[in-house]
Amino acid sequence: MSTFDYDLFVIGGGSGGVRAARVAAGETGAKVALAEEDRYGGTCVIRGCVPKKLMVFASEYNEMPSLARSYGWDIPDGSFDWQPFTVKLNAELDRLEGIYRSLLKNSGVESFDARATLKDAHTVSLSNGKEVTAKHILIATGGRPVRPNLPGAELGIVSDDIFHLPELPKSVLIVGGGYIACEFACILHGLGVKVTQYYRGEQILRGFDNEARGMIADSMIARGIDLRLGVNVEQMEMANGTKPAGYVPGQGPTKIVNTQGTEETYDLVLFATGRNPNSNDMGLEALGIGMGRGGAIEVNDYSQTAVPSVYAIGDVTDRVNLTPVAIREGMAFVETVFRGNPTPVDHDLIASAVFTQPEMGTVGLSEEAARAQEEIEVYASSFKPMMTAFAGAQEKVLMKLVVSKATRKVLGCHIVAPGAGEMIQLAGIAVKMGATKEDFDRTVAVHPTMSEEIVTMRTPTRTG
């Protein structure tokens, strides 16, 4: 008979933690509990992927009346109403949170709506005063957005706050150049907000393929987003005097001074300047658990910390910060600990999408990263897609393959186009399987589609 209250205690009710908890309880018979201090579903469901994607959908309707008129439809321009959209959005998030709670309950997981910290290697202290013991502890607390350290930064909002705005601003300054900053720049612009974006670097979307990110930057500017590179915010203050009692971030307008010495005023300032793991004040360092940059919990290939009974998965480990990766890590944890089948997580060749307008889908190495390791061939095609070209639009799409000269394997695939996220999922299977350029060439095209270019490019555009 176990000397512990539970076989497994999970801290964090996001996608990775919930999956690990319910599979361990429902499929292996383990006695499992889970604690979540906020809402079940975590960043992805409550304040990330899901509400953001619904906002992406909403923002894309902006261009549809004009496009429809080009095809003969008599459709007038419309206007966007934030209030009914957010009412429906919040109802959908409530529904999804309910599903997460039901999944846990139906799997036999005991849930605690409380903050959890570690007292020792097998003891969890809850904010409701309760202490419980567990043979294994799994930390799946995710990450959080961070504000930069500059005067007046508390006047701005972060990505978690964007879904709770009482109304849309007329103007917004977005600070940052990563995928979150670029996605929200496109979303808010599509919803009718005047968008300015600052990024201190030379080009947005650092780490992605240069050709692909350059095309997205050009498209954002062409759509009317005021994208400024090599500039940052230096300080901020209330434009209308002192900060009132009970001030809520975003109750602008806000005056900023940038690093070029220019003063500007915006209704709202949104910081999308990075995220840190949610590991602070959990008692981890006192137990000897290693902590990396920004508070990332250090783990081995099996998600195990330096304390053998304590594991960590998802964004709190800062390995590959994507929801499907956290879920995969949670499943590997259950396989390792409760099924006796040590299973490391394969973090190689993970496809991902950036939901800008147009979208970017990517898997494998960028052209630059591939060239740094070996000789390559690059096959790329940029063209106006049939649907929007017919309407007279000038925007182009990109289909790109990066190929090893030596092995002929496709090292990377990069797509910039409407629906790129859907396309890259399928291309990712081929790249993950080690498909060669000749495998792509042998595949008959689906015509007429944008994606057929992936299998019809025969002559490399660049080599070396």
Q: What residues are annotated to the active site?
A: 447
Pairing assessment for the beta strands 32-35 and 110-112 based on DSSP bridges: parallel
φ and ψ of 309, to 5 deg: -85, -5
* 6: nearest Cα among 45, 35, 47: 35
| Alpha carbon distances (Å) from 272 to 2, 82, 158, 182, 243 | 46, 21, 6, 9, 23
Q: What's the residue count for the chain?
A: 464
**Cβ proximity of 305 and 297 under 8 Å:** yes
Give the span between the Cα atoms of 410 and 432, in whole angstroms.
Answer: 9
Sorted by sequence, the CB contacts under 8 Å of residue 101 that are 6+ apart come out as: 40, 111
- Secondary structure (H, E, C), the chain: CCCCCEEEEEECCEHHHHHHHHHHHHHHCCCEEEECCCCCEHHHHHHCHHHHHHHHHHHHHHHHHHHHHHCCCCCCCCCCCHHHHHHHHHHHHHHHHHHHHHHHHHCCCEEECCCEEEEECCEEEECCCCEEEEEEEEECCCEEECCCCCCCHHHCEEHHHHHHCCCCCCEEEEECCCHHHHHHHHHHHHCCCEEEEEECCCCCCCCCCHHHHHHHHHHHHHHCCEEEECCCEEEEEECCCCCCCCCCCCCCCEEEEECCCCEEEECEEEECCCEEECCCCCCCHHHCCCECHHHCECCCCCCECCCCCEEECHHHHCCCCCHHHHHHHHHHHHHHHHCCCCCCCCCCCCCEEECCCCCEEEEECCHHHHHHHCCEEEEEEEECCHHHHCCCCCCCEEEEEEEECCCCEEEEEEEECCCHHHHHHHHHHHHHCCCEHHHHHCCCCCCCCCCCHHHHCCCCCEEC
Pairing assessment for the beta strands 116-120 and 233-238 based on DSSP bridges: unpaired
Give the span between the Cα atoms of 351 and 434, in whole angstroms.
Answer: 14
